[in-house]
Amino acid sequence: MTDIPEVNKRAKSMDRFSAKCEDVGDHAIWKGTKDSRKRYGLFRYDGKLMRAHRASWLLFEGPLPEGAAVRSTCKVKFCVAPTHLKVDVKPIEAA
């Protein structure tokens, strides 16, 4: 059974996230807070400050494997459209 407060919390986070994006063609351009060097968008989700493209994946696609990195495939600066993101998983090195 799904925990209703958790579903509501995620839905509110999705609404907050979407309000910080501007649709430009098939891109979702991040208009919210950016890091000090203006390289990445920032978003607070589940009590953690993270890069906006990572939050986009978590909110709209789901959990990430341990150690996974999220990167853009479209190369449009500040695009956080989930369909333009790719997950890279680092291979586990043998000890």
Give the model's confidence band at 91: pLDDT under 50 very low, under 70 low, under 90 confident, else very high: low
- The model's pLDDT over 8-64, given as tens digits with 9 standing for 90+, comes to 888 999 999 999 999 999 999 999 999 999 899 999 998 999 999 999 999 999 999
Q: What is the pLDDT of residue 93?
A: 62
Separation of first and last alpha carbons in the chain: 40
Phi, psi of 70 (to 5 degrees): -110, 130
pTM as predicted: 0.85
The DSSP symbol for 91 reads P
Among candidate residues 23, 28, 90, the one with its CA nearest the CA of residue 55: 28
Structure tokens at 73: 């495939």
Compute the distance between CA of residue 52 and CA of residue 55 in angstroms, rounded to an integer: 5
The residue type at 81 = A
pLDDT at 2 over 70: no
